[in-house]
A and B are shown apart, each in its own frame.
Chain A
């Protein structure tokens, strides 16, 4: 019976991802932390799928597809920003700051 421990692991990995987004300014590492959060959610989907049938695994498939699309578009945006500011540091992206 590993459902409980898997949920704990999922929570820990999700918080690691959130903390990474909070404390880092490098846009690429921020994206990696978002991927880590998506992975944590996938783990809880898979853990629940053992108890509630295979719909959870289908949802993991959809989450992976959306994550791949998000990574492609996000990295293209980072590339465009890098051309503009010559940096991926978020402190240089403050045009909307009051």
Chain B
């Protein structure tokens, strides 16, 4: 029960910060509200016992990526911008999309949503808050609460070793590409 209450408080914080992020006129408060969303999501990851992902969320997203955003905003001196909210058909499409989401959520409703979740999470003991913890679900093997990083590292360096190495090439290419694009004269 406690887990549910904490989840709903964090979810409300994430949605509210997200809405404030896209409605801010000035990019700096928008970036700070996005940091708030990311911290709420990191706390939700802890509730789902994804401790490694939560730490990565805070370090990579709320730390590195957002510092990069704020750095570029300040480099370009973008404070005190006039409102840049669009007018015309794009706004209608956006409102229609949001309305479609609300209608879908209402139609799907709470009961059939729980059914969907049970269908998707087969083998998981439904209804108990402990089900979000490893051991309560279909998670087996190296998954134990004291060894959350080891449980992620095992598939990462065994099954997904080649994608992991390709990721390093991607990061190198991105770093070189960013320097090439941002530099005035090579």
| A57 engages B50 (CB within 8 Å) | yes
On chain B, the residues within 8 Å of A50 by CB distance are: 48-49, 121, 124, 131-134, 137, 139
| B21 engages A36 (CB within 8 Å) | yes
Interface residues contributed by chain B, number (CB under 8 Å): 98
On chain A, the residues within 8 Å of B31 by CB distance are: 32
* A96 lies within 8 A of chain B by Cβ: no
On chain B, the residues within 8 Å of A7 by CB distance are: 113, 117
Binding site for B on A (CB under 8 A): 1-9, 11-13, 15-20, 22-26, 28-29, 31-33, 35-36, 39, 42-43, 46-55, 57-58, 60-62, 64-73, 75-80, 82-83, 88-89
On chain B, the residues within 8 Å of A57 by CB distance are: 50, 52-53, 152
Binding site for A on B (CB under 8 A): 3-4, 7-8, 11, 14-15, 18-19, 21-22, 24, 27, 30-31, 34, 37-38, 41, 44-45, 47-50, 52-53, 56-57, 60-61, 64-65, 68-69, 72-73, 75-76, 78, 81, 84-86, 90-91, 93-95, 97-98, 101, 104-105, 113-114, 116-118, 120-124, 126-129, 131-134, 137-140, 143, 151-152, 154-156, 159-160, 163, 167, 170-171, 173-175, 177-182, 184
Q: Chain A interface secondary structure, helix, strand, loop or mixed?
A: helix
| A26 engages B81 (CB within 8 Å) | yes
Docked CA distance A12–B85 (Å):
21
> How many Å from the CB of A36 to the closest CB on chain B?
6
On chain A, the residues within 8 Å of B53 by CB distance are: 42, 46, 57, 60-61
| A26 engages B27 (CB within 8 Å) | yes
Q: Can you give 25 A-B contacts (C-beta < 8 A)? A: A1-B124, A6-B48, A11-B104, A13-B37, A15-B101, A16-B15, A22-B90, A23-B22, A23-B86, A24-B85, A26-B78, A39-B61, A42-B41, A42-B53, A47-B48, A50-B48, A50-B134, A60-B50, A60-B53, A60-B56, A69-B170, A72-B68, A72-B175, A75-B68, A78-B72
Docked CA distance A64–B134 (Å):
23
- A5, A15, A20, A33: the one contacting B7 at CB < 8 Å is A5
Docked CA distance A21–B81 (Å):
17
- A17, A47, A54: the one contacting B143 at CB < 8 Å is A54
Given contacts A24-B85, A28-B73, A28-B78, contact A61 B56 (CB under 8 A): yes
